[in-house]
A and B are shown apart, each in its own frame.
Chain A
């Protein structure tokens, strides 16, 4: 995976596959670390499943024998001497947290976080998202539930709305 924003898109796909109706993605940057948290209210995992989940040879999918997403993410965080954790409860949801150490030469670049947010909205207009991006020069938050109360019958993935989000983020 080329950068952290693509990892986030990939990990969020797990939340969507777990039928989450709300996915909260938070990215906090300092000069020392990049911390990523992805929280969902999807179907969650049992303790048994959770133990196996970062094992690349574990997956519930039927089209392939190995799952890659979580183990790859964990591996890329740990390469930087960062920290990785995943918590999950059946019928409650899952929280994935990763802290990349920016001082490591193996730390991936953040990449285009806005494109990841927008891709998620375009493909999943009926799912709710909370996006947060905090850095020394940015304090951004978007809650799609708030947008939807204004938009009413208009889909959030209509292009003028997407352009509004782009400008809001870059503002």
Chain B
């Protein structure tokens, strides 16, 4: 159905209500590779799976941002998760794997080592 501006106003009020309930403690940052290599390897679908799963689980204070090619095109799609002062790089992602990362890493605090690039750098 074609949506109206009135619908949008309603959405604004709803979102405003929910924002008040949010605890704005520390942020998690997810940086997704959106260069040509990433996009052609499936980054758009991986990104959408991330966003969908984050919302399905109602996780707050998570920021998803793009980056360009980081020179490891063969490992795309990839993204970095910055959480608790630590950076973890997940490589050769699929929408399914990305959803697992949200559940394990963001919800259960367990890094999925099998999907990481292997080098975990303390920030």
Contacts and interface: CB of A to CB of B under 8 A. Distances in A.
Nearest to A59: B69
A80 interface: no
Contact of B68 (A1, A17, A158, A160): A17
B15 A61 contact: no
A110 interface: no
A88 B71 CA distance: 27
Contact of A160 (B14, B36, B47, B66): B14
A31 interface: no
Given A64-B73, A122-B64, A158 B15 contact: yes
Contacts of A95: none
Interface string B79-111: 000000000000000000000000000000000
Contacts, number: 89
A115 interface: yes
Contacts of B9: 150
Interface in B56-70: 64-66, 68-70
Given A164-B7, A164-B8, A6 B69 contact: no
Contacts of A151: 8, 12
Given A10-B36, A64-B73, A123 B11 contact: no
B48 to A, nearest CB: 7
A160 B15 contact: yes
Nearest to A167: B3
In this complex, the member of A116, A122, A161 whose beta carbon has the largest number of chain B beta carbons within 10 angstroms is A122
Interface centre among B15, B44, B70 (most CB of A within 10 A): B44
A119 B68 contact: no
A153 B47 CA distance: 25
A123 B55 contact: no
A135 B16 CA distance: 37
Interface string A1-35: 11000100110010011000000000000000000
Given A147-B8, A160-B15, 12 more contacts: A6-B39, A6-B40, A10-B36, A17-B68, A64-B73, A69-B35, A119-B47, A122-B47, A123-B47, A150-B5, A154-B12, A159-B55
Interface of A: 1-2, 6, 9-10, 13, 16-17, 61, 63-64, 67-69, 72, 115-116, 118-119, 122-124, 147, 150-154, 158-161, 164, 167-168, 171
Interface of B: 1-3, 5, 7-9, 11-12, 14-16, 32, 34-37, 39-40, 44, 47-48, 51, 55, 64-66, 68-71, 73
